[in-house]
Structure 1
Amino acid sequence: MEIRTATPSDKPAIRDVARRSLQSSYSLSPQTITSGIEEWYGEQQLDASLESTDRRLLVAESNDQVVAFSESTLTADRPWVTGEEDQGRDALMLWLHVDPEHRGEGVGTTLFDETIDRLRESGATTVQGRVLANNQAGTDFFEAHGFERVGRTEIEIGGRTHVEYRYVAEPTGLEPLESGSQTVYVDHDESEGGSEAPFHIVYTDPDRENRYGYYCDNCGQLANAMDAMGRIECDDCGNRRKPTRWDAAYL
């Protein structure tokens, strides 16, 4: 089996693997899956992912056939933290899809390990993963590979509310922050991509049960405003949240 960077000729195979994997792993309607495939892996989206410098799209090929792929994102380097260079990057594994016919062959583990290695080589110091709670195989997979569940959130897919778990490798913990008369907790293990820097999730409690808002890593200010489409913008510096995968606009 060969793990390599995806090329434009892999686009039809990527769509096919994604469809078969979603049908096997998630309790989603056929219409929702079709809409998701068209949005996430349409021609324009895949072209943008293949050309992007902050995305990693890897495929696992066996006997000249693509049997799995992973998609990850990387933030820019973070010199604003201390004013020095090479302060590391945050990585988020958006997807790891394996063709159901090739599960149980070690394909997912091999691809997962190679993806993590390449993200580390690209400067990632924190690696996150996300999976729907009703995908038991997915949650078991992350936990078996040393990821710790650090939070959960409710997301809307096709008009229905689902729970998504968030995982992180080598968690660094929470940072207490005073907000008026209240202490809130910035989770540096959980973040959303921003146009200038990540937005870290902020909780009202150290158990990560109740979400408070977001912390802008670009200017160090809390950003709580979110519109109906899930967009976040920092009022102080204009940093904006980038969509990832479950945004309402995708479905």
Structure 2
Amino acid sequence: MVGSEDTGTAGLRILTPEDETALRDWLHVHNTVIPTHRLTLDEAWDRAGRHRLEVAYLGDTAVGSSTVRPPADGTRTATVIARVLPGHRGRGFGGRLYARGLDRARRLGAETVETVVLSSNEDGLRFARKHGFAETERYVLPGETVPWVDFRLR
């Protein structure tokens, strides 16, 4: 595990996954929070090459993760996604991951910030709205049955 460490919220450490063990932790959080869109380790490595990923640890236990999709193709829009495992929600971990992701997006040149939440994740929907996001679209990806909800920061 490598990366900038953050111990500001109840001993939470946030690191950039740069080895297989840490990337598997990121993948575990992703696949637990988004069971309808499970990724493989190869897909996670691909995302690590294109996006900015972080894993949040409480002690040695992964409790959350984040993804920042930088602005691309001349846009000034980034996507910031924070995920926290159900047993660790409500303790400020998601807020800390989100704040770091938002800061990273702004440093990468984002003027507009979006997020996406699986519609079955009621905690995630509440979190997005609480942090100033407004819903912009709902859609179902090919081969899936649960809608995704896109949000834009107001």
Q: TM-score, normalised by structure 1?
A: 0.50
With a CA cutoff of 8 Å and minimum separation of 6, indicate the structure with the bigger relative contact order.
2
Paired residue for 1:22?
34
| Alignment of 1:12 onto 2:24 | yes
Residues 55-109 of structure 1: CA distance to partner in whole angstroms, max 9, x if unpaired? 110111221332110112123373xxxxxxxxx621123x432122211211111
Summarize the alignment of residues 160-239 of structure 1 with structure 2, pairs less than 5 Å apart. 160=145, 162-170=146-154
Q: 1:45 to 1:115 in 2, by over 3 A?
A: same
1:96 to 82, 86, 89: 82
Give yes or no for contact 1:132–1:163 (8 Å, CA) kept in 2. Answer: yes
Give the % identical residues: 27
Unaligned runs of 5+ in 2: 1-11
Give the SS at the match of 1:124: coil
2:66 to 63, 70, 75: 70
Residues 158-213 of structure 1: CA distance to partner in whole angstroms, max 9, x if unpaired? 4x3x333221013xxxxxxxxxxxxxxxxxxxxxxxxxxxxxxxxxxxxxxxxxxx
Greater strand proportion? 1
Paired residue for 1:209?
none
Paired residue for 1:241?
none
**How far has the Cα of 1:2 moved from its partner?**
2.0
Larger Rg: 1
Give the SS at the match of 2:111: strand
Residues 13-39 of structure 1: CA distance to partner in whole angstroms, max 9, x if unpaired? 22322333335xxxxxxxxx4xx32xx
Greater helix proportion? 2
2:106 to 105, 120, 128: 120
Give the SS at the match of 1:105: coil
Give the Cα–Cα distance (whole angstroms) in 2 for the partners of residues 71 and 147 of structure 1.
17
Give the Cα–Cα distance (whole angstroms) in 2 for the partners of residues 21 and 45 of structure 1.
16
| Alignment of 1:152 onto 2:104 | no
Give the aligned residue type for 2:34.
L
Structure 1 runs, 4 residues or longer, greater than 3 Å off: 154-158
Q: 1:51 to 1:121 in 2, by over 3 A?
A: same
Give yes or no for contact 2:17–2:54 (8 Å, CA) kept in 1. Answer: yes
Paired residue for 1:44?
42
- RMSD of aligned residue pairs (Cα, Å): 2.2
Unaligned runs of 5+ in 1: 24-32, 79-87, 171-251
Give the SS at the match of 2:149: strand
1:135 to 98, 118, 121: 121
Aligned residue pair count: 142
